[in-house]
Amino acid sequence: MRVKILRQNNPYSKPYWQAFKYDGDMNVSVAAVLEYLNYNDDVKDENGHHADVISWECSCLQAMCGGCAMVINGKPGLACDTFLRDLKGDELVLEPLRKFPVISDLVVDRGIIQENLKKANAYIGEYEHDDKYSQDLEYQIGRCLKCGLCLEACPNYVKGVNFYGALFANDSYFINARRKSDKESVKKNYDEHFAKGCSKSLACEKVCPVNIPTLASMARMNRL
Amino acid sequence: MTKVLIIGSGISGLTCAIECASRGISTILVSPFPSERAQSVLAAGGINAVLRTDNGDSIEQHIKDTLNGGCNIAGVKAVTGLCSEAPDIVRWLEGLGTVFSRDKESKIMQRPFGGQTYPRTCFAGTSTGKQIVTALVMETRRYEGKGLIERRFWTDFYGALIKDKTCYGALLYNEATRTLESVTADAVVIATGGQNRMFSKTTGSTQCDGYAAGKLFEQGVELKNLEFIQYHPTAIETDRKNMLISEAARGEGGRLYYEDGGKRVYFMEDKFGEKGNLMPRDVVSKTMYETGRDIYLDVSFLGKAQILDRIPEVYDLCMKYRGLDITRESIPVKPSVHFFMGGIAVGLNHMTNISNLYAVGECASIYHGANRLGGNSLLAAVYSGRTAAKDIASRKVEQEPSDWSEFASREQGRLEAIREAEGAVFSVHIKNMLRENITGSLGIVRSEKEIDKSIEVLDHLIDVETSGMVRYDSSELEYFNYSLGGILKLGKAMLVCARSRCESRGAHLRSDYPEREESFKKATIISYDEGEFNTRLVGEDAYEG
Ligand SMILES: Cc1cc2nc3c(=O)[nH]c(=O)nc-3n(C[C@H](O)[C@H](O)[C@H](O)COP(=O)(O)OP(=O)(O)OC[C@H]3O[C@@H](n4cnc5c(N)ncnc54)[C@H](O)[C@@H]3O)c2cc1C
């Protein structure tokens, strides 16, 4: 199988395409392909020329950490959760997420996610358990990987300047459900940095690797 | 103390940061990636605490189970502190937003885990570690907003700033600028997790490489009990890693067996009775090993509804990574490296043998003795972070401001030399050899012969590394290059510890010394002195006060 990767040496250099040959097991994930290509002493491109080690972020290898989010054959996904057997065509094309600055190859800087949550004071503060909220939904939101796939897929998210995207909408619900006071300021931030800019494409829900029902969070936040 | 530097942002690092900041201490928390990528998010099963006593359970029983599970070499004082604070820790975590599973009466649910007399593992659905991380990150953000915590990403530990057995800060590698920077602090806390990456396939994260512990060891920090490596009995092998089949699968009733002439032999139940499948992990792994057979875990009889309700993650991962439907088929399982009881030696306050240098979480060694009970390490991660923070807050600063710029520029020079080294041996090759040898000789059962062979290989690799014969990959981050030396030292230290314990206890089984020996009812301490690896056995009093 031919593996084509959009590469970039550092944040300031120009991106370029490089292709590799993969002749291993086809019943594996994209993460396994990357490990396979990098494993040897000397990484070789499809013409047998020396190539730099392919950088990509990875920690858990089982879709629990969100590290390996990238664009796979044009679709955002986790490399460890996307299997060759499910891909169409006989070429695998890998690109870094497009809405974040590239650090190198498939590694991007998703610091803006943490930065925006900080700006919006996304924390609980004084806790109060309130049965009127849905524990089940809170649990699902608690699983958010902060991988950025929802932002990548969203037609409204650009660079996170004003619109913070689905993960912020979900965290807003989570925080409101668990904090004792000043729920108004959470709602205000939610309106300002989410509701105002969301066109409800729901691309975020479809792409979420842990299936967080963002629409449910929105419905509940909008009712407040 | 007023300024703290914490290395590592898993559950232990996050907790320590919050507990420092809440006491007004200015805290820097560094890690290459955000906490969402730390190994802590993989913890599925739960966290132990005695929340009810009407069923006969008590804190004393939790202490007893923990000490017995650890084969009676952990310190009583340390374990007493851990178990006594557990109920408060669970309530604290809930107050920060952890979504624990609750029963119909809205009480936090608890399930039985291995080695427990009563069910006391609290859980948050199938993602306890993740839910705790989510809550802790939110609380960290609150102190970030107040200017008390600064989170730095793309930053790796390089080494500690140590003079006259006192720590003054750390040298950090900035991945963005590819340079070293010295950061001084009144206290440094190491929270870098275990060393899974040293083995071929484990249940853990690729970020846990053991470098920090190895480097500190070179710098004079004592390590402890490195021979005790927990093999979780039930992992399913996949292409890239061994995936954990949570103990919850057996907690819910799952049964281990092998096949003999077409008949199932439930060997754990045969040997240990009704609760056989839930014996402590060391016992289960050992018994599985001794059968010499392929082992299976059957949960199918629980029925689809219960499986999807109680252990959906096990269903999902078997289906996704192995195409196996566990509602109909048994799971082929085998023991896998999972947790490290050993690590940086610390006292009751979590300080190392170097003043003002602390270690918390899985990289520290104190509570688990020769074998950890499931659910006790999340507890220890939180408890240790808290304990270190309390100690730090209670101390007056006596440190003079110190200048480390010369040291930093010397080390920067070394970094550049590494970048340009034109050695003959590829660093990737050294890492692969290290993994093969460690995996081969530190299996469930070890022998002096195999360990010695591995030590010989490691000595050679260390030689290659120190004499500049390595060819590093200049297209990789320097971290992967400069970390090689520390990782190799830790690898050898693990082997030397394993060789020195001439008995079988807990997770350390020796084919040449199959019995438990009273004279070894102690902890192994290992120290590094100009290339020499020295071990000694110490009693509880030496480190645990
Ligand atoms: C699959 C799995 C399931 C588990 N389930 C349970 C369970 O149910 N119950 C339980 O009690 N325990 C469980 N454990 C164990 C438990 O999860 C860990 O012991 C605990 O989470 C460790 O937390 P920590 O903060 O010490 O380290 P980690 O979470 O590993 O965090 C380490 C941090 O250090 C950083 N770091 C590493 N090296 C460097 C460096 N050189 N420079 C800078 N930063 C660095 C990492 O990036 C990370 O941020 C499980 C473990 C695994 C692998």
User: The CATH number of the domain where B414 resides is what?
Assistant: 1.20.58.100
pLDDT in tens, A86-108: 999 889 999 999 999 999 999 99
Q: What pLDDT is recorded for position B472?
A: 84
Q: Which of B38-42, B157-161, B243-247 has the lowest mean pLDDT?
A: B243-247
Cβ–Cβ of B207/A59 closer than 8 Å?
yes
Q: Is the pLDDT of residue B417 over 90?
A: no
Query: What are residue B377's phi and psi, to 5 degrees?
Result: -85, -30
Full domain range(s) for residue B431:
405-517
What confidence tier does B178 reach under pLDDT thresholds 50, 70, 90? Answer: confident
Q: What pLDDT is recorded for position A223?
A: 85
Q: Is the pLDDT of residue B310 over 90?
A: no
* Whether the CB of B313 sits within 6 Å of ligand 1: no
Judged by DSSP in three states, B199 sits in coil
Pick from A26, A28, A123, A175 the residue to mutate for testing the B interface (most B CBs within 10 Å): A123
- Closest atom of ligand 1 relative to the B483 alpha carbon: 41
Q: For A67, which of B37, B96, B131 is closest by C-beta distance?
A: B37
**Number of domains present in the structure of chain B:** 2
Question: Complex ipTM, two decimals?
Answer: 0.97
Residue B104 DSSP label: T
The answer to whether the CB of A45 falls within 8 A of the CB of A17 is: no
Cβ–Cβ of B134/A143 closer than 8 Å?
yes
Long-range CB contact pairs, B72-76, < 8 A, 24+: B72/B369, B72/B521, B73/B225, B73/B369, B73/B370, B73/B505, B73/B506, B73/B521, B73/B522, B73/B523, B74/B366, B74/B367, B74/B368, B74/B369, B74/B540, B75/B348, B75/B366, B75/B540, B75/B543, B75/B544, B75/B545, B76/B540
Residue B270, in any domain of the structure: yes
* Whether the CB of B157 sits within 6 Å of ligand 1: yes
Q: Is B428 in the same domain as B513?
A: yes
Vertex B465: Cα angle to B210 and B224 (nearest 5): 30
pLDDT in tens, B329-385: 999 999 999 999 999 999 999 999 999 999 999 999 999 999 999 999 999 999 999
Q: For B138, which of A25, A122, A129 is closest by C-beta distance?
A: A122
- Ligand 1 centroid to B281 CA: how many Å? 19
Q: Is B409 in the same domain as B503?
A: yes
> Which residues of B are catalytic, by number?
281
Q: What is the mean pLDDT of residues A42-48?
A: 91
* Whether the CB of B361 sits within 6 Å of ligand 1: yes
B232 touches chain A (CB under 8 A): no
What pTM was computed for the model? 0.97
Q: 379-408 in B: which are within 8 Å (CB) of A?
A: none
Q: What pLDDT is recorded for position B510?
A: 97
Q: What is the mean pLDDT of residues B222-228?
A: 98
Q: Which residues of A touch B313 (CB under 8 A)?
A: none
Residue B95, in any domain of the structure: no
> What residues contact residue B266 under an 8 Å CB cut-off, 6+ apart?
B255, B256, B257, B276
Q: Is the pLDDT of residue B402 over 90?
A: no
Q: Side-chain half-sphere of A180: how many Cα atoms within 13 Å?
A: 6
Q: Which of B85-89, B106-110, B515-519 has the lowest mean pLDDT?
A: B106-110
The answer to whether the CB of B123 falls within 8 A of the CB of B311 is: no
Q: Is B313 in the same domain as B409?
A: no
Q: For A59, which of B37, B102, B240 is closest by C-beta distance?
A: B37
* Whether the CB of B247 sits within 6 Å of ligand 1: no
The CA distance from B228 to B369, in Å, is 8
Chain B's closest residue to A146, CA to CA, is B36
> What residues contact residue B86 under an 8 Å CB cut-off, 6+ apart?
B47, B48, B49, B50, B59, B62, B379, B383
Q: Is the pLDDT of residue B219 over 70?
A: yes
Tell me the three-class secondary structure of B173-211, residue by residue: EECCCCEEEEEECCEEEECCCCCHHHCCCCCCCCCCCCH
CATH number at residue B326: 3.90.700.10
Tell me the three-class secondary structure of A150-214, residue by residue: HHHHCCCCCCCCCCCCHHHHHHHHHHHHHECCCHHHHHHHHHHHCHHHCCCCCHHHHHCCCCCCH
Q: Is the pLDDT of residue B14 over 90?
A: yes
Q: What pLDDT is recorded for position B426?
A: 87
Q: Is B324 in the same domain as B417?
A: no
Residue B412, in any domain of the structure: yes
The more confident residue out of B397 and B531 is B531
The answer to whether the CB of A52 falls within 8 A of the CB of A9 is: yes
Which amino acid is located at B427 in the chain? S
Residue B351, in any domain of the structure: no
Which amino acid is located at B408 in the chain? A
Q: What pLDDT is recorded for position B500?
A: 98
Short-list A196, A195, A148, A152, CA closest to A173: A195
Helix axes A135-142, B128-145, angle to 10 degrees: 80
Helix axes B478-500, B211-218, angle to 10 degrees: 70
Residue B313, in any domain of the structure: yes
The CA distance from B106 to B536, in Å, is 50
The domains located in chain A, with CATH, are: 2-108 (3.10.20.30), 111-223 (1.10.1060.10)
Q: Side-chain half-sphere of B329: how many Cα atoms within 13 Å?
A: 10
Cβ–Cβ of A143/B127 closer than 8 Å?
yes
Vertex B479: Cα angle to B475 and B480 (nearest 5): 65
Judged by DSSP in three states, A104 sits in strand
Average predicted confidence (pLDDT) for chain B: 95
pLDDT in tens, B512-533: 999 999 999 999 999 999 999 9
Q: What is the mean pLDDT of residues A13-17?
A: 97
* Whether the CB of B33 sits within 6 Å of ligand 1: yes
Q: What is the mean pLDDT of residues B199-206?
A: 94
Q: Is the pLDDT of residue B545 over 80?
A: no
CB atoms within 10 A of CB B22: 16
Q: For B239, which of A32, A144, A178 is closest by C-beta distance?
A: A32
| CA-closest residue to ligand 1 atom 50 | B43
Q: Is the pLDDT of residue B179 over 80?
A: yes
Q: Is the pLDDT of residue B398 over 80?
A: no
pLDDT in tens, A125-175: 999 877 777 889 999 999 999 999 999 999 999 999 999 999 999 999 999
B38 touches chain A (CB under 8 A): yes
Bridge partners of B335, per DSSP, are none
Q: Which residues of B touch A35 (CB under 8 A)?
A: 240
What confidence tier does A85 reach under pLDDT thresholds 50, 70, 90? Answer: very high
